[in-house]
């Protein structure tokens, strides 16, 4: 069986898996990382959203063979370490604004929101309503207004634009 290597939440990992296996299944079934959720496997619901090299992506739509050994994959489990805290500001905002109901989509929601805020800040601007409109993660419970409030609050605590 082929072997594949990449960086997961700051640690180099190597797995044996068929080339065409989706990264989501490598994370969940082989490595035991259950934060990214299975929703649709079609890159639509975005419950599995993670970061690859700092950008949001959906591992349900990426084959493990397409991941390079130097690629850095961050899941919700590794997000706090990116800020050296017990919780990332976005995770804390989720708690402060009581966002989650069932909670299933929340890891993907948080990961997408962090990437969106980082992108806005890298462009030297604050997060806008237009940015929030671009977040397309599906929440079956419909907590979108609290999600928007939490993202705006967390954005203020993340590194601000210069």
Is residue 162 situated within a structural domain?
no
Is residue 108 domain-resident? yes
What is the separation of C-alpha 117 from the centre of its chain, rounded to a whole number of angstroms? Answer: 12
Per the prediction, the chain carries an average pLDDT of 95
Mean pLDDT on 136-160: 92
The CATH number for 48's domain is 3.10.20.30
Structure token digits, residue 110: 């948080």
Instruction: State pTM to two decimals.
Output: 0.94
141 domain residue, yes or no: yes
User: Would you call 107 helix, strand, or coil by DSSP?
Assistant: helix
* 159 pLDDT tier (thresholds 50, 70, 90): confident
Same domain assignment for residues 124 and 69: no
pLDDT band per the 50, 70, 90 thresholds, residue 160: low
Its domain, for residue 93, covers 80-157
Q: What is the CATH number of the domain that holds 139?
A: 1.10.150.120
Domain end (from 14, 47, 74)? 74
Cα–Cα distance measured from residue 60 to residue 43, given in angstroms and rounded to the nearest whole number: 6
For the segment 87-110, the average pLDDT, to the nearest whole number, is: 95
């Amino acid at each position: 069986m082929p072997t594949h290597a990449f960086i997961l939440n700051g640690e180099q990992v190597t797995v044996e898996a068929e080339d065409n296996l989706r990264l989501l299944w490598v994370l969940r079934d082989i490595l035991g990382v259950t934060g990214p959720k299975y929703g649709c496997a079609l890159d639509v619901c975005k419950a599995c959203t993670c970061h690859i090299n700092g950008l949001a992506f959906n591992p349900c739509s990426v084959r493990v063979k397409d991941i390079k050994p130097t690629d850095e994959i961050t899941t919700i489990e590794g997000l706090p370490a990116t800020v050296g805290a017990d919780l990332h500001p976005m995770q804390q905002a989720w708690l402060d604004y009581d966002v989650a109901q069932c909670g299933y989509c929340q890891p993907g929601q948080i990961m997408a929101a962090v990437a969106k805020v980082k992108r806005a800040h890298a462009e030297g601007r604050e997060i806008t309503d237009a940015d929030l409109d671009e977040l397309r993660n599906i929440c079956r419970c419909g907590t979108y207004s609290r999600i928007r409030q939490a993202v705006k609050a967390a954005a203020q605590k993340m590194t601000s634009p210069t």
